[in-house]
Chain A
Amino acid sequence: MLHIKCPYCGLRPQTEFSYGGDATVKRPELNKEVSDQDWDNFVYLRKSPRGKHLELWQHISGCRQWIKVERDTLTHEISTTYKANENI
């Protein structure tokens, strides 16, 4: 079970969080023309990197904040966690 450091609440067990996928995906802006390809990339296509991966988790049983977690998909090592609006 992972141990995730919520930037607001501190180290908490994984069971308090829910996974939210790739944190590097950026939603296309509203009211802007988006090509089929770009939209498909945004909605469906995800990389499955071996190694460091920036991902979203929500502390659903805690402060309910969405946070960004840099986790190594191979070793499960978590190097850093960020607040949602932090510049990385």
Chain B
Amino acid sequence: MKYLQHTKQTKIYKMSENFRLDKGGLINRNKKISFKFNGKKYFGYEGDTLASALLANGVHLVGRSFKYHRPRGFFGAGVDEPYAIVQMNRNNEVDPNVRATEQELFEGLEAKSVNCWPNVNFDIGAINNFLNIFFPAGFYYKTFMWPKSFWYKIYEPIIRKAAGFGAASIKHDKERYEHKYEYCDLLIAGTGPSGLASAYAAAKNGAKVILAEDKSRYGGSLLTSEVTIGNQSGKEWAEQIISELKSMPNVIVKNRSQVFGYYDHNMLVMSERVSDHLPKTDKYTPKQRLWYIRAEQVIISSGSIERPLVFGNNDAPGVMLSSAAKEYLKIYGVLVGKNPIVFTNNDSGYETAIEFKKNGVDPIILDTRKDANSEIIKEAKELNINIKFSYVVVAAKGYKKVNSADIAKISDDKKVISNIENIKCDCICVSGFWTPTIHLASQSGSKTKFNEEIDAFVPSISKQKETTLGSANGVFTLEETLKTSFEKGSELSKQITNKENKISIPTVVEKKSSKHDKFWCVPLPEGKNYKRFLDFQNDVAVSDIQLALREGYRSIEHVKRYTTLGMATDQGKTSNLNGLQLVSEVENKVVPQVGHTTFRPPYTPVSIGAIVGREVGKHSKPTRKSPMHHWHEKNNAVFVDAGVWLRPRYYKRGNENLFEASKREAKNVRQNVGVCDVTTLGKIDIKGPDSAEFLNRVYTNAWLKLPVGKARYGVMLREDGIVMDDGTTTRISDNHYHMTTTTAQAANVLSHLEYYLQLVWPELNVNVVSSTEQWAGAAIAGPKSREVLQKLFPDLNVSNEGLPFMGYMEGNLFGVNAKIFRISFSGELAYEVNVESDNGNYMWEKIIEIGKEFNIQPYGTEALSTLRIEMGHVAGSELDGRTIPYDNSLEGLVSKKKDFIGKRSLSKTAYIAPDRQKIVGVVPIDKKTSIPEGSYLVKDAKAKLPNPKLGHVSASCWSVEYDNPFSLAILKDGKNMIGKKLFAMSPLKNKVIPVEIVSSHYVDPKGERVRS
């Protein structure tokens, strides 16, 4: 093996930093920026990415690979980057999984490497590289199978620790993320030539256009290619089109915005990095914004990504895509090396080589083709660039950075390599031709087809309203791209706006390319077993795929999952096609037979914060407050969430705790009088001549004969016989009813009623509307409630005869119209007064003021529960979607005479079983130990597990009537269990409590108080 001298460097350039050219690029050289990487300070310029700035400083080692912890550098210059994933520290927040190639530089930026410990230069995990024989494809499945007991305590924690790139913060993310909804005629993803041309044509036709670019600069390939459009350079043309589009009112132009998902009915989602490129997010500026865009038509102009060539150690830092090398040079003025090898199977590599040469660097081109001729190759030859045809890189040499390469001649049939020699180099720029970015098209449901000409899949038949243009569609000449894009943009927008503004398509000057070589994977030299990587992020090598196929994996989807090919955060942007080519080669198939794996959103990783948006913490749902909320606050109410409502749980006096306060409040209701805010109850206004008939079908009991001015308690079922809700409904006038529902079920009940009125019995002339917000309600309960009521309405006869139990009347509460219902949830003599919401607080203050002499106290939901539990009144914890009327001892309300919703289900065998579950009361035998809600009732506390469950405790309280704990339970054969002794078991609270079963009506079983 001889060393080939390839180091004659003409030092005509000076570098301000190590690898930065003196001029050129699109960066702002007047603004120097300092930043830190792995704790070390560097400088870059405004307009740099973290990647370009590091490369300018000669930093190539930025991370460690996933499995083997091999040193990793930069491979690309954009979203396709598989290696350079860093952890950002910004605004006192950490941001993992950031691609250095996309992160723009700002003053004070701090980032560090991931997947290495203790640091990127000396990484303990790299031992995996030397143990790689133990990490073949599917090693997780093979290695950690035995002994089984090791999984939870040993294998899983270690794997979890080793897995993933970077670490998410466990702190609350203080950054602001926003959501935005937008409609447009045309959404265009990508601002390369096809995006710009189609957007321009569509905008001129008056269409509402959204044009999105994932990078900070517009123009795509026009920024780096040597072409002329009209009389401008590609870059100038792009700038002019963009500025014109920006000035048009019907166009939204967005940079730093990645359209990452294509969903049903032309809904696309785009993530805009609003402040990621700035040192700090302003208080009211979001860090990122998620756009939900509904587009009439979509144009996908997402371009293409260069394919790697596969050879030994092709993952070493310094091996990168030739297009990336060109981009670093042309956009950032950065040389990725001063002694480059360009290894290519097509003309694109030549463009990169020419750029190197023009900037004073002598590249060597290894072209896998036997010979090729084109304008580009001719130019390279004229520049005296060293071109070796039928040559390949066999292996890169150098651990943390490429320092040389073994190159060799390859036979015409590409099977045999010979004349291996080692040449010095500091980077290897590879080009294996181009892969159209068809992710969005595929997500939209488009069929794809394999294009033999370019060895890649392109979109074919659309399912949704989308069109893919330019190199994303496999069109690699600018002339054709511009022509089709102008035409398509005009055609699609014309269909929407009916306007047509003729645009003359500019003439294009570009260099013609010769045909690429289908060759992509260099054979191993005899006796060498270099790792040849396909998937750079997940460390999947050629040998892993071969092993998977040997082990019998056939479907590409299975091969993918077994080897993890294409499963990393880069989703195989650079690896998928080479993987497919390998599988088809080994299997002796053609690529389209193998097919490709499914492309799924998101195209690039999306922050969880952006997905959640502003709906975090208490903003995750609306908060509803009653009109009396302010009064509760002023009077030391402690609130509890009841659905979306905030309700007072208890009113704290002095040092009282929940238990003491709720006991005091409940006792006061039993002895004197209390007042409770019941505004949250669902209320539905029902009007129409068929209202009685409708209620008769909805409720289980009879409703036809309810007189005006009377309320009735009702239970409604679902069609399967399960209790849906309960409440009282009052006949206000002949054709007008006021229905109440539980707080939680209000919305469902309204939908339920609307369903039957609109779909099942449209012949019924009834209208329903929610009136929950229209009324503020106060329940006045206790033996002294009539006296309070009388004082509130001195003109009304509210005696037991004047306003009997379940009676209703209207009154005037000190100038305010009020509805008075004599109904009771507490089991005491009680009334509910409703006034219009605006008057709620006025009513409440009047009740408190007038009730003072009767020792009135407000009571919260905790006391409310206590009162209803010891009365045996069922609520949500019993009506839990699993119980029928019988279970709740509501069978007396089930009419035998008429039909109603769900009645037919009540005759089901299980529902009429003689030992059917039923509600009972439960009292601890020691009369001291409270029974945790959710406890199981069992016969024998010491029985072997699983101990047969007889029932469960649905609600518990401290009975203020008897001063001991009392619970309700749904118990099997509850009817015959009264007096029996059982055990309440709560493994969660580690309690076993001996209990006695009693009647669920613990207090006032005859219901005399409500009628008193």
Residue positions of A touching B, CB distance < 8 A? 1-3, 13, 18, 20, 27-28, 30-31, 34, 39, 42-44, 56, 58, 60, 64-66, 75-76, 78, 84-85
B720 at interface by CB-CB < 8 Å: yes
Residues of A within 8 A of B904 (CB): 28, 34, 39
Rounded to whole Å, the gap between the CB of B293 and the closest CB of chain A is 11
B811 at interface by CB-CB < 8 Å: no
List residues 856-906 of chain B with CB under 8 A from any CB of chain A: 898-899, 904-905
A68's nearest neighbour on chain B, judged by CB, is B759
B480 at interface by CB-CB < 8 Å: no
B439 at interface by CB-CB < 8 Å: no
B265, A39: Cβ atoms closer than 8 Å:
no
Residues of B within 8 A of A18 (CB): 751
A20, B755: Cβ atoms closer than 8 Å:
yes
B292, A1: Cβ atoms closer than 8 Å:
yes
B1007 at interface by CB-CB < 8 Å: no
A58, B755: Cβ atoms closer than 8 Å:
yes
A60, B751: Cβ atoms closer than 8 Å:
yes
B282 at interface by CB-CB < 8 Å: no
B263, A58: Cβ atoms closer than 8 Å:
no
B755, A76: Cβ atoms closer than 8 Å:
no
A27's nearest neighbour on chain B, judged by CB, is B760
Secondary structure at the A interface, as helix, strand, loop or mixed, is loop
If the complex has contacts A75-B445, A84-B759, are A58 and B754 also in contact, measured as CB distance less than 8 A?
yes
B266's nearest neighbour on chain A, judged by CB, is A3
Residues of B within 8 A of A3 (CB): 264-267, 294
In Å, the complex CA distance between A23 and B1001 comes to 43
If the complex has contacts A27-B760, A31-B899, are A39 and B905 also in contact, measured as CB distance less than 8 A?
yes
B961 at interface by CB-CB < 8 Å: no
In Å, the complex CA distance between A16 and B914 comes to 45
A85, B720: Cβ atoms closer than 8 Å:
no
Q: Which of A42, A58, A60, A66 contacts B719, CB < 8 Å?
A: A42
B265's nearest neighbour on chain A, judged by CB, is A3
If the complex has contacts A28-B904, A31-B899, A58-B755, are A2 and B264 also in contact, measured as CB distance less than 8 A?
yes
Residues of A within 8 A of B751 (CB): 18, 58, 60
B697 at interface by CB-CB < 8 Å: yes
B463, A75: Cβ atoms closer than 8 Å:
yes
- Provide the B249-278 mask, 1 if CB < 8 A to any CB of A, else 0: 000000000000001111100000000000
If the complex has contacts A18-B751, A30-B697, are A65 and B758 also in contact, measured as CB distance less than 8 A?
yes
Residue positions of B touching A, CB distance < 8 A? 181, 263-267, 292, 294, 445, 463, 697, 719-720, 747, 751, 754-755, 758-760, 762, 898-899, 904-905
A–B pairs, 23, beta carbons within 8 Å: A1-B292, A2-B265, A3-B265, A3-B266, A3-B267, A13-B181, A13-B267, A18-B751, A39-B904, A42-B719, A43-B720, A56-B759, A58-B751, A58-B754, A60-B747, A65-B758, A66-B754, A66-B755, A66-B759, A76-B265, A84-B759, A84-B762, A85-B762
Residues of B within 8 A of A34 (CB): 904
A43, B719: Cβ atoms closer than 8 Å:
yes
A1, B267: Cβ atoms closer than 8 Å:
yes
A76, B264: Cβ atoms closer than 8 Å:
yes
In Å, the complex CA distance between A31 and B899 comes to 6
A44, B720: Cβ atoms closer than 8 Å:
yes
Residues of B within 8 A of A60 (CB): 747, 751
Residues of A within 8 A of B755 (CB): 20, 58, 66
In Å, the complex CA distance between A20 and B904 comes to 21
Residues of B within 8 A of A13 (CB): 181, 267, 294
Residues of B within 8 A of A84 (CB): 758-759, 762
Rounded to whole Å, the gap between the CB of A88 and the closest CB of chain B is 13
A38's nearest neighbour on chain B, judged by CB, is B904
- Per CB-CB distance, the 10 closest pairs between chain A and chain B, nearest first, are A3-B265, A30-B899, A84-B758, A66-B758, A76-B264, A31-B899, A1-B267, A39-B904, A27-B760, A84-B759
In Å, the complex CA distance between A84 and B756 comes to 11
In Å, the complex CA distance between A18 and B266 comes to 20
Residues of A within 8 A of B265 (CB): 1-3, 76, 78
A4's nearest neighbour on chain B, judged by CB, is B265
In Å, the complex CA distance between A26 and B904 comes to 15
In Å, the complex CA distance between A26 and B264 comes to 30
Rounded to whole Å, the gap between the CB of B144 and the closest CB of chain A is 38
B905, A43: Cβ atoms closer than 8 Å:
yes
In Å, the complex CA distance between A65 and B757 comes to 10
Residues of B within 8 A of A28 (CB): 904
A44's nearest neighbour on chain B, judged by CB, is B720
In Å, the complex CA distance between A78 and B755 comes to 22
A39's nearest neighbour on chain B, judged by CB, is B904
In Å, the complex CA distance between A18 and B752 comes to 12
Residues of A within 8 A of B762 (CB): 84-85
In Å, the complex CA distance between A27 and B752 comes to 14
B770's nearest neighbour on chain A, judged by CB, is A64
Residues of B within 8 A of A75 (CB): 445, 463
In Å, the complex CA distance between A38 and B905 comes to 11
Residues of A within 8 A of B445 (CB): 75
Q: Which of B263, B697, B759 contacts A1, CB < 8 Å?
A: B263
Residues of B within 8 A of A43 (CB): 719-720, 905
- A1-B264, A58-B755, A76-B264 given; 6 more Cβ-contact pairs under 8 Å: A1-B267, A30-B899, A34-B904, A56-B759, A66-B759, A78-B265
B269's nearest neighbour on chain A, judged by CB, is A1
Most buried by B among A2, A43, A56, A85: A43
Residues of B within 8 A of A2 (CB): 264-265
In Å, the complex CA distance between A42 and B905 comes to 11
A76's nearest neighbour on chain B, judged by CB, is B264
B769's nearest neighbour on chain A, judged by CB, is A64
A31's nearest neighbour on chain B, judged by CB, is B899
In Å, the complex CA distance between A1 and B905 comes to 36
A78's nearest neighbour on chain B, judged by CB, is B265
Rounded to whole Å, the gap between the CB of A68 and the closest CB of chain B is 9
Rounded to whole Å, the gap between the CB of B722 and the closest CB of chain A is 11
